[in-house]
Amino acid sequence: MAEGSTPTWSDTHEVTNQPPPLEGCDTYSSNAALVEAVERHGGGANVADLAAIGRRAGDPEWLERGRQANANPPVLRTHDRYGNRLDVVDYHPAYHELMAAAVGAGLHAAPWVDQRPAPHVTRAAGMMTWYQVDAGHTCPISMTYSAVAALRHQPDVADALVAALAAPHYDGSNHPIPAKAGITAGMAMTEKQGGSDVRANTTTARPVGSGGPGAEHLLTGHKWFCSAPMSDGFLVLANAPGGLSCFWMPRWRPDGNRNRVRIQRLKDKLGDRSNASSEIEMLDAWALMVGEEGRGVRTIIEMVNHTRLDCTLGSAGVMRQGVAQATWHAQHRRAFGRVLDEQPLMANVLADLAVESEAATAAAIRVAATFDAADDPDEQRFARLALPIVKYWTCKRAPSHAAEAMECLGGNGFVEDSDLPRVFRQSPVNGIWEGSGNVICLDVLRAMLRSPDSVDAYWDEVDLAGGADRRLDAAAVSLRKELDDLADVESRARRIVEDMALVLQGSLLVRHSPAAVSDAFCASRLDRDAGGHRAFGTLPTGLDLAAIVERHRPAL
């Protein structure tokens, strides 16, 4: 403002020292760790489809749809104006647009019909990328993908449904399955008196005829969590005469009438707000038994294993989103006379976040690769341990990672406009869904005791990096001693699983990541002489922090 001139509003509000919006970025192609992992596990031929998802995920119009879907959460309509029961959930149009995009990209169930190489790895990379637009709508996407695995225990039921479940067409209307070109699936397992202890369920299944696998049953009871209640059908656990069994329960009966299922209320959740989670009650709801009678947990665990993978992918997506936002901000923001990412302490924090993100990405895609190797016994033995190990640790790290990424932006990161508060609220959910921490760790112990060959498969994978880094080798020796000691093993389960996760991640990074990344990981997570890892930003000196940050910074 010139001397003596009259000030104007523009003189008080010139915006400087703020980063440009992180928009227009191909969020897949700019994620080097993810691109390399996909290529490593056979999905390189599908890069064009993944880049298309990445471009859409970085498009400001689609990012705005994610914000709108969360700012306008679903609303339950139990009755119409005349008092007739409806049990319908209304979503913001942005939610339906996000669903249509995800289904159109094949993220819902394409691997079951995709003939290209590495379909599960390709989908996993797409899910991790698309999750960053909006996490909530990926719940029914994940359930649809996972339901197919369980339905295949009942071939006649699967044959009638899989084509519609895998179709690249989204139809959010409230109509019976035969009227739709594509359908989605949900799940209803837990009840208020049992939670994770599904064997405490009280819902009953009464056979219409002779009963048995594939036969009609009428379900009566309640479910404390019914995920995605506007799905076209649900996998449900209920007690048949022969014990706890799995059922396919559609929202509409075959005769064209609505099934006898009532939505009691929607859950008011910390995060995942664009998606509806509900409590439901059933009174002689029509359903078909899936799999053997009395083996419901074993049947539905096929679905749970796939949703556990998606929980892992979601948490890895949260980390990638945090790293992208933090490194982008620090590249364009100056403080105390220097750009933020040129300042040693900030560079330490950013590099540490990036290392965590890369370790999570490498491990998640490695586990996804086991789903493409369903006929390989060695891969399946490895998956039996690796899936719960990686699920536990990746999901456990996501909240602290999101909080630190938010702190990199300072006060701006705490404001909703940055999207990081939404990321932070989302970060704990995957550690709770499909088995909270204790459930997962006990599952790991159970697998080691019942399937000792899964432990051998774990070590076969880790030993591929044997001799490459002394810190990794020492951590592996220490872990072997830990596993040989079964005293008080249940109380030590979290420590054991954490160590197994870190050793596995270290093995993957030493083999596949740049030396700067693997060196930082081993120095901070595995080197017991250095005191172990503390808060983010405590990497030891002598590491190539600039190279790590540059590798993980998004590029427009």
Could you report the per-residue pLDDT of 183-204, keeping only the tens digit for each?
A: 999 999 999 998 888 888 999 9
Note whether residue 170 is domain-resident: no
pLDDT at 531: 66
pLDDT at 198: 86
CATH of the domain at 345: 1.20.140.10
Q: 284 and 317: one domain? A: no
Note whether residue 520 is domain-resident: yes
Provide the pLDDT confidence category of residue 273 given band limits of 50, 70 and 90.
very high
Q: 315 and 211: one domain? A: no
- pLDDT of 12 above 80: no
pLDDT at 14: 83
Q: How far is CA 428 from CA 104, 308, 399, 412, in A?
A: 28, 14, 6, 21
C-beta of residue 528 within 8 angstroms of C-beta of residue 474:
yes
Q: 330 and 377: one domain? A: yes
High-pLDDT (> 90) share of the chain, %? 92
Mean pLDDT of the chain: 95
Number of compact structural domains in the chain: 3
What are the pLDDT digits (tens) for 455-499? 999 999 999 999 999 999 999 999 999 999 888 999 999 999 999
Q: How far is CA 4 from CA 1, 191, 222, in A?
A: 9, 73, 75
- pLDDT of 80 above 90: yes
CB count in 10 Å sphere of residue 62: 19
Listed residues 246, 262, 294: the one ending a domain: 294
* Burial 270-284, CB ≥16 within 10 A → b, else e: ebbbbbbbbbbbbee
Note whether residue 144 is domain-resident: no
Provide the pLDDT confidence category of residue 212 given band limits of 50, 70 and 90.
very high
pLDDT at 534: 82
Note whether residue 108 is domain-resident: yes
Q: Report the pLDDT averaged over residues 217-231.
A: 96
Note whether residue 420 is domain-resident: yes
Q: How many residues does the chain have?
A: 556
Structure tokens at 362: 């490498």
For residues 436 and 467, what is the distance between their CA atoms, to the nearest angstrom? 35
What are the pLDDT digits (tens) for 498-540? 999 999 999 999 999 999 999 999 999 999 877 666 899 999 9
What are the pLDDT digits (tens) for 386-411? 999 999 999 999 999 999 999 999 99
Q: Report the pLDDT averaged over residues 407-427.
A: 96
Q: 259 and 307: one domain? A: no
Residue 216, helix vs strand vs coil: strand
- pLDDT of 158 above 60: yes
Provide the pLDDT confidence category of residue 2 given band limits of 50, 70 and 90.
low
Provide the pLDDT confidence category of residue 22 given band limits of 50, 70 and 90.
very high
CA 225 to chain centre: 18
Residue 282, helix vs strand vs coil: strand
- pLDDT of 9 above 80: no
Note whether residue 166 is domain-resident: no
Name the pTM for this structure: 0.96
Q: 517 and 459: one domain? A: yes
Q: 266 and 326: one domain? A: no
Provide the pLDDT confidence category of residue 72 given band limits of 50, 70 and 90.
very high
Domain residue limits at 233: 177-294
- pLDDT of 543 above 60: yes
Q: 435 and 396: one domain? A: yes
Listed residues 86, 120, 136: the one ending a domain: 136
CATH of the domain at 262: 2.40.110.20
Listed residues 294, 328, 346: the one ending a domain: 294
What are the pLDDT digits (tens) for 298-334? 999 999 999 999 999 999 999 999 999 999 999 999 9
Q: 541 and 393: one domain? A: yes
pLDDT at 195: 82
- pLDDT of 96 above 80: yes
For residues 501 and 504, what is the distance between their CA atoms, to the nearest angstrom? 5
* Helix H or strand E encompassing 335: strand 334-335
Note whether residue 3 is domain-resident: no
Q: 109 and 232: one domain? A: no
For residues 98 and 103, what is the distance between their CA atoms, to the nearest angstrom? 9
SS (H, E, C) 455-520: HHHHHHHHHHHCCCCHHHHHHHHHHHHHHHCCCCCCCCHHHHHHHHHHHHHHHHHHHHCCHHHHHH
Q: 284 and 303: one domain? A: no
Note whether residue 390 is domain-resident: yes
Q: Which of 13-27, 424-438, 449-463 has the lowest mean pLDDT?
A: 13-27
Structure tokens at 356: 């965590």
Q: 548 and 469: one domain? A: yes
- pLDDT of 1 above 60: no
Q: 307 and 373: one domain? A: yes
What are the pLDDT digits (tens) for 343-364? 999 999 999 999 999 999 999 9
